[in-house]
Amino acid sequence: MGKPVRIEQVTKSYHGLEALSPTSLFLEEGEFVSIVGPSGCGKSTLLRIVAGLDTPTTGRVSVADRVVTQPETDIGIVFQSPVLLDWRNVLDNVLIQAEARKLPHDVYAARARDLLAAAGLKGFENAYPHQLSGGMSQRVSVCRALVHNPSLLLMDEPFGALDALTRDQMMVDLQKLWLRSRPTVVFVTHSVQEAVFLSDRIVVMAPRPGRVEAVLDVPLPRSRRLSMRGTAEFNAIVDEILHHFQRMGVIRDEEDEIPENTTVEMAL
Amino acid sequence: MGHADTTIPISVTPVPVWRRMRAFYPIVSLFVLLGMWQATVMLFEPAPYLLPHPIAVANVIVSQFPALLYHTGITAFETSLAFTLSIAVAMPIAFLIARFRWFEETVYPLLVVSQAVPKVALAPLILVWLGFGLSTKVMIGILVAFFPVVISTVVGLKSVPKDMIFLGRSMGLSARDMFRKIYFPFALPSIFGGLKVCITLAVVGAVVGEFVGADKGLGYLILLASGQMQTALMFAALIFLVLIGVVSFALVQWAEARLMPWHSSVRQDAGH
Ligand SMILES: Nc1ncnc2c1ncn2[C@@H]1O[C@H](COP(=O)(O)OP(=O)(O)O)[C@@H](O)[C@H]1O
Ligand SMILES: [Mg+2]
């Protein structure tokens, strides 16, 4: 089960330049929150600060009422690239989490196999990263982020480098895996549809300086199916987010108007 | 659910038999070279002290085999000592450079500037300091050969991606485990690049050491044969020197393949 995350008046400046202006956000335990916004609005910065991998210039983050002062370890992170260790096979790439935490090998090897199977990687346990496609590698990295059952899952544009079909499948699989253990998730994406499909809440961020523009609820029932993307409720939320981007001047339509059921992805 | 998006075969696709025999191409080029040598001798009939007949060289190799083997053993021993100690010197320096900013800033520039000194020119000085023994050859070998290992190790350690470091920290890896499980294996391909240069330079260093002062080893033998205009013997010694170079290089390559079967420099299916 997830832990609640409290982000309080967090700012970050690099060389005196404000990358993130005061940002506050509260994530309930087990909540799935997406962050969407153009490049350079501080999404990755915010994620690193939550993970304790970077320190905020001012403000603070607490996870389950404990202020983050060093790298969180009850955490799973998925980066845009899979970041697999080339010298380990798939299973050992996942198991490095157990190794690092001195957890019992046998128990976690079974867990890892189970997760890999659920992610469609049965039979690839002994393959090396160079033998995997981009989508498969990213699945391994999602399994690695989940195998130790972390309370917090941070994902920074995890499917950004994948093709559209693979992304759809990953989205469905991620929802399934998340529903198993319900960690608190912060999911950064460029795809509005992805955000709406997966999230309980969506944070829309704006650039220069990075800040929270709006927070939207997604009151769609779970577990969600791909076909849900055709429904009016789904697209109403997509449109609302796109309107925010339009207002920010991030995207501009020819007639300055967003067509119905748009599938525009934020190619930023 | 339950299907991987792309099917990439785990098994290696079959390669034609003649391409799998990796010795094939080098053997061909070796014979072409021998043929050209033979043709040159037959066409221009140079004096034997300028270019001996391949058969004459073969004869020397047979008649002088024990002596050649003895000197080869000496040079090979010096080379392997120089190689091993080069690693022992270079690795810690590289680790410190990659790990500590202040060490990098104080030592690295010095090291780079020192490489501008032609190390071979230092050989007579080393001879004065260390005398005629083994240590002179090994020291010159180290001086010539250790630098590429420093460079390649530093480059390898420093090119660990940021996200990979974040990953390690988020797993709570200790500094020691961070090194063992992430930095070192990541740097290994680069380190081996340096080791391959190092091993060939270690041979050069040993021979230079023997040139400036020795009573044994292939360098000594070459100098001796040169003084007596025994060109065939010189050629024989050179061939054994090449053998040392080739065999030691192959040993490093073998170790590389054993230690990192995952890497593209080792895999059959990579490249071309
Ligand atoms: N290490 C850093 N040093 C200097 N500037 C940085 C650094 N990291 C991020 N920035 C700046 O902070 C801003 C936000 O970056 P980032 O968090 O990566 O945005 P996003 O992930 O939303 O694209 C950008 O303007 C970027 O240039
Ligand atoms: Mg980013």
Q: Give the residue numbers spanning the domain of A4.
A: 1-74+152-159+184-268
Q: What is the model's pTM?
A: 0.84
Number of other CB atoms surrounding residue A91 within 10 Å? 18
Q: Which residues of B touch A79 (CB under 8 A)?
A: 163, 166-167
Number of domains into which chain A is organized: 1
Q: Which tens digits make up the pLDDT trace of B255-268? A: 999 888 877 666 65
Q: Which residues of A touch B4 (CB under 8 A)?
A: 120-121, 124, 133, 135-136, 139
Q: Which tens digits make up the pLDDT trace of A103-122? A: 999 999 999 998 898 888 88
Q: Is residue A18 part of a domain?
A: yes
CATH of the domain at B131: 1.10.3720.10
Q: Give, using CA atoms, the residue closest to atom 21 of ligand 1.
A: A44
A156 Cβ neighbours under 8 A, 6+ residues apart: A43, A44, A47, A77, A78, A79, A80, A188
Residue A66's pLDDT band, with cuts at 50, 70 and 90, is: confident
So what's the pLDDT on residue B213?
86
Q: Which of A211-215, A260-264, B26-30 has the lowest mean pLDDT?
A: A260-264
Q: Is residue A145 part of a domain?
A: no
Q: Is residue B30 part of a domain?
A: no
Peptide bond into B124 cis (omega under 30): no
Q: Is residue A223 part of a domain?
A: yes
User: Which residue(s) pair with B235 in the sheet?
Assistant: none
CA-CA distance, B87 to B93, in Å (whole number)? 10
Average pLDDT, chain A: 88
Q: Is residue B54 part of a domain?
A: no
Rounded mean pLDDT of A61-90?
Answer: 91
Q: Is residue A120 part of a domain?
A: no
Q: Is residue B5 part of a domain?
A: no
Reading the block at residue B186, the tokens are 């990541």
So what's the pLDDT on residue B269?
58
Sign (positive or negative) of CA dihedral A156, A158, A159, A160: positive
- The alpha carbon of A159 and the centre of ligand 2 are apart by a number of angstroms equal to 13
CA-CA distance, B156 to B191, in Å (whole number)? 7
So what's the pLDDT on residue A167?
85
So what's the pLDDT on residue A255?
59
pLDDT of B75 strictly over 50:
yes
A-B CB pairs within 8 A amount to: 92
Helix residue spans in chain A (DSSP H): 43-51, 90-100, 105-118, 134-146, 164-181, 192-198, 232-248
CATH of the domain at A53: 3.40.50.300
So what's the pLDDT on residue B17?
67
Q: Is A246 on the interface with B (CB under 8 A)?
A: no
- Comparison of pLDDT for A79 and A265, the residue scoring more: A79
What was the ipTM of the complex prediction? 0.88
Number of domains into which chain B is organized: 1
So what's the pLDDT on residue B137?
94
So what's the pLDDT on residue B4?
45
User: How many CA atoms within 13 Å lie on the side-chain side of B164?
Assistant: 19
Q: Is B167 on the interface with A (CB under 8 A)?
A: yes
Q: Exposure of B104 by Cβ count < 10 A (0-12 exposed, 13-18 middle, 19+ buried)?
A: middle
Q: Give the residue numbers spanning the domain of B109.
A: 68-259
pLDDT of B187 strictly over 90:
yes
